[in-house]
Chain A
Amino acid sequence: MTMAGAGKPIKAAGTGRVSDLRPVGVLSTLAIVAVAFALGALLILAIGGSPWQAYRALVVAAFGSANGFAETMVKACPLLLAGLGVTVAYRARFWNIGAEGQIYAGGIAAALAGIYLGWLPAALQMPLALVAGVVGGALWGLGPGFLRARLKVNEVITTLMLTYIVVEVSSYLVHGPLRDPTSGITISPQLARAAWLTIVLPRTRFHLGIILALVMAPLLYLALNKTVLGFQIRAVGENPRAARVAGISVERTIILAAVLSGALAGLAGAAEVCGVQHRLVEAFSPGYGYLAIAVALLGGLEPLPVVFSAVLFAALLNGADAMQRAAAVPVPVIYVIEGLVILFVAARSLKRGVGL
């Protein structure tokens, strides 16, 4: 037994093979969510709280009223867009963990456009602000994509470092050149009204960007499954060597996937700025880009299921404050649950009978 495999070349298995992360059954996904929440409940019990009370408060806050639902969807919007961005990247085996930075790059670009392009025809302003966001995010994805494809620079480190950098840039902008002099706090002036995303559900914050995000999911599904680029991205993710033999330019595909990934996250930032904040605010993203990783992984890197995991994590985010008020459970419990979800997704290959 010991000698059986000696001398044979080691086959790359597990890590790097995107197919280990997908596709996933509805049951195994539900099981992951259930176990993560059960462990979260244990943690709440451990600090003397009532999991029942906590989770009930969470569900009521997230879905119990029209406004609660609208707020959940307001948070699902950036999670979904950035989650789709992460999905594209990971399908090409490009380990982008800087969606947070790409959200900031997009948000900053959209805010600049919305503030300074007020002289343009009104009908152009909102689309232009969104395009600016897409371009900002795409640029923030292009750098790491280019470095990885052409120079083999590890993208996990570059995407994260660029995140830390752009967060400081946004802080500098609202403290310095972009600060609203009439405000006592460090925020930028408001975007021109014409650059705001329209409210869809009256008397809530449910804005047009949410519809846009929901449309992007099937679009990305089509792009991944019915277009040449989509095929190339999937081929490169499954087996770069085979893709190269088949005549696909692996470098070009990785760069395009990185740009597309950044563009989607940039759109998330633009939608947040144009639809919710209406100005540049320091730390306007409470970690949407990091949560987006869990969103994409729980959705099995498939665009349509990602919609559901985005809404799930948005409900968590939206209900966390209510949970804290009702059951004195500190808000970060949702990041514990998120981490557990990622760990379980990582361990999912267990079922394939792997291990020594």
Chain B
Amino acid sequence: MIRQILSVAFLTGFLAATLRMATPILIASLGEMVAERSGVMNLGIEGILILGAFASFAVAYRTGSLWLGLAAGSLAGAFLGLTMAVLSVRYGANQIVAGLGIWVFCQGLASFMNRRLFGVTATRPTVTSLEAVRLPLVGALPVLGDTVFNQNVIVYLSLLAVPILALFFRATSWGLQLDAVGENPRAADAAGVNVSLVRYLAVTAGGVMAGLAGAYLPIGLYGLYTDDLTTGLGWMAIAVVVFGRWRPGWILGGALVFGAAEALQFRLQALQFPLPYQFLLMVPFVVTLLVVILFVRGEQGPAALTHPYRRSES
């Protein structure tokens, strides 16, 4: 058993799986980071993931096009992000309650539509998920070539999003405006920034990314849809944002930790590790708990996080 775990084949497989499992968490976390830096916490991520996953699978299955599936997942995410934005910006709703509402609504709608469209059948409908693309040159490297540089397109894009978002916040005026709205909306308003518009855009963008993260599960990973496909990934993404201190680079690190926990659980199950499978299934949740207890406590985030902005209030 120990020898199996320490073998190169196991480690290569483990690293590759870590990256594959980290991807949905990374995409969703980066999206949630954008929303939270504008001052809106979207707790509905888990729901957006599952509805994004369902929408993308249903469309990909019916049309035979994975790309249309991805588009459908993003569109569902955009709609849900916009809903969250309307509730939190327009109506000044309690963001925790609104997020819970989105979560429950999506879970119900995805499950409802799944039963309606696919019913309860012995054989699950499947699609062929996106193929891994081995990058030229770097793809020939030992270990790295088989893991980091042999993934599907969404994995590469999500990794690329990390420096792009870092640059966006550090070097563009849009990024600075977004941060200003999240830190001090009144001052931003006074400086002529449209607080509502920025929040609408940020929360909707976060929704699109969560929808894409959900779409990645059937399209880029499993090739099928089940009602419990997301298993808490959305909640982990929210923990990762805080763990990553609202910074893209740190969030990548956090996503990799959670990806590793998920991958380890799958790998150990496959190896018939001598521990009841229920305990292996617990690993990612225990890791999340430990991470929030050890690293996330007391983190406050953007100053105006969860506070609706009302211009008239004195």
Binding site for B on A (CB under 8 A): 1-8, 10-17, 20-21, 43, 47, 95, 97, 147, 151-154, 156-158, 160-162, 164-165, 168-169, 171-172, 175-176, 290, 293-294, 297, 330-350, 354-356
Are the C-beta atoms of A343 and B102 separated by less than 8 Å? Answer: yes
Given contacts A157-B289, A161-B288, A161-B292, 4 further A-B contacts (CB under 8 A): A10-B303, A16-B307, A343-B102, A349-B94
Are the C-beta atoms of B276 and A343 separated by less than 8 Å? Answer: no
Are the C-beta atoms of A14 and B105 separated by less than 8 Å? Answer: no
B310 at the interface (CB under 8 A from A): yes
The 7 closest A-B pairs by CB, nearest first: A339-B105, A335-B108, A342-B101, A6-B190, A343-B101, A339-B104, A332-B111
Q: What is the CB-to-nearest-CB distance from B184 to chain A, in angstroms, rounded to a whole number?
A: 7
Among A2, A154, A343: residue with most chain B CB under 10 A:
A343
Among B98, B103, B195, B289: residue with most chain A CB under 10 A:
B289
Q: A20-B94, A172-B279, A335-B111 are in contact. Are A2 and B100 (CB under 8 A)?
A: no
| Chain B positions 106-151 with a Cβ under 8 Å from a chain A Cβ | 106-109, 111-112, 115-116
Q: What is the CB-to-nearest-CB distance from A303 to chain B, in angstroms, rounded to a whole number?
A: 19
Are the C-beta atoms of B105 and A340 separated by less than 8 Å? Answer: yes
Are the C-beta atoms of A165 and B107 separated by less than 8 Å? Answer: no
In angstroms, Cα B314 to Cα A350, docked, is 19
In angstroms, Cα B47 to Cα A21, docked, is 22
Chain A residues within an 8 Å CB radius of B313 = 5, 11, 13
Q: Is the interface of A mostly helix, strand, loop or mixed?
A: helix
In angstroms, Cα B265 to Cα A168, docked, is 14
In angstroms, Cα B98 to Cα A95, docked, is 13
In angstroms, Cα B116 to Cα A98, docked, is 29
Task: Write 5 A-B pairs (CB below 8 A) sorted by A numbering.
Answer: A5-B313, A13-B308, A158-B289, A336-B108, A355-B310
B18 at the interface (CB under 8 A from A): no
In angstroms, Cα B241 to Cα A121, docked, is 53
Are the C-beta atoms of A339 and B101 separated by less than 8 Å? Answer: yes
Q: A151-B298, A335-B108, A345-B97 are in contact. Are A157 and B116 (CB under 8 A)?
A: no
Chain B residues within an 8 Å CB radius of A12 = 307
Are the C-beta atoms of A14 and B93 separated by less than 8 Å? Answer: yes
Are the C-beta atoms of A356 and B196 separated by less than 8 Å? Answer: yes
Among A10, A97, A152: residue with most chain B CB under 10 A:
A10
Among B109, B184, B279, B306: residue with most chain A CB under 10 A:
B109
B267 at the interface (CB under 8 A from A): no
| Chain B positions 74-93 with a Cβ under 8 Å from a chain A Cβ | 83, 87, 89-93
Q: Is the interface of B mostly helix, strand, loop or mixed?
A: helix
In angstroms, Cα B87 to Cα A350, docked, is 9
Q: What is the CB-to-nearest-CB distance from B149 to chain A, in angstroms, rounded to a whole number?
A: 33
Are the C-beta atoms of A354 and B92 separated by less than 8 Å? Answer: yes
In angstroms, Cα B191 to Cα A5, docked, is 11
Chain A residues within an 8 Å CB radius of B285 = 161, 164-165, 168
In angstroms, Cα B308 to Cα A346, docked, is 13
Chain A residues within an 8 Å CB radius of B303 = 10
Choice from A10, A168, A172 contacting B309 with Cβ under 8 Å:
A10
Are the C-beta atoms of B90 and A356 separated by less than 8 Å? Answer: yes
Among A152, A162, A175, A339: residue with most chain B CB under 10 A:
A339
Are the C-beta atoms of B238 and A157 separated by less than 8 Å? Answer: yes
B260 at the interface (CB under 8 A from A): no
In angstroms, Cα B108 to Cα A346, docked, is 18
Chain A residues within an 8 Å CB radius of B164 = none
Are the C-beta atoms of A43 and B289 separated by less than 8 Å? Answer: no
Q: A330-B112, A336-B112, A355-B91 are in contact. Are A154 and B101 (CB under 8 A)?
A: no
Chain B residue, CB-CB nearest to A328: B116
Among A15, A21, A335: residue with most chain B CB under 10 A:
A15
Chain B residues within an 8 Å CB radius of A17 = 94
Are the C-beta atoms of B108 and A334 separated by less than 8 Å? Answer: yes
In angstroms, Cα B184 to Cα A189, docked, is 60
B259 at the interface (CB under 8 A from A): no
In angstroms, Cα B289 to Cα A1, docked, is 46
Chain A residues within an 8 Å CB radius of B239 = 154, 157
Chain A residues within an 8 Å CB radius of B289 = 157-158, 161-162, 165
Q: What is the CB-to-nearest-CB distance from B50 to chain A, in angstroms, rounded to a whole number?
A: 11
Are the C-beta atoms of A15 and B95 separated by less than 8 Å? Answer: yes
Are the C-beta atoms of A354 and B310 separated by less than 8 Å? Answer: yes
Q: A11-B313, A15-B307, A172-B279 are in contact. Are A151 and B297 (CB under 8 A)?
A: yes
Are the C-beta atoms of A152 and B297 separated by less than 8 Å? Answer: yes
Chain B residues within an 8 Å CB radius of A348 = 93
Chain A residue, CB-CB nearest to B40: A15
B3 at the interface (CB under 8 A from A): no
Are the C-beta atoms of A172 and B93 separated by less than 8 Å? Answer: no
Are the C-beta atoms of A156 and B190 separated by less than 8 Å? Answer: no
In angstroms, Cα B298 to Cα A20, docked, is 25
In angstroms, Cα B292 to Cα A151, docked, is 10
In angstroms, Cα B88 to Cα A350, docked, is 10
Q: What is the CB-to-nearest-CB distance from B309 to chain A, in angstroms, rounded to a whole number?
A: 7
B247 at the interface (CB under 8 A from A): no
In angstroms, Cα B281 to Cα A322, docked, is 34
Chain A residues within an 8 Å CB radius of B116 = 47, 330
Chain A residues within an 8 Å CB radius of B297 = 147, 151-153
Choice from B43, B282, B293, B310 contacting A164 with Cβ under 8 Å:
B282
Are the C-beta atoms of B306 and A338 separated by less than 8 Å? Answer: no
Q: What is the CB-to-nearest-CB distance from A65 to chain B, in angstroms, rounded to a whole number?
A: 27
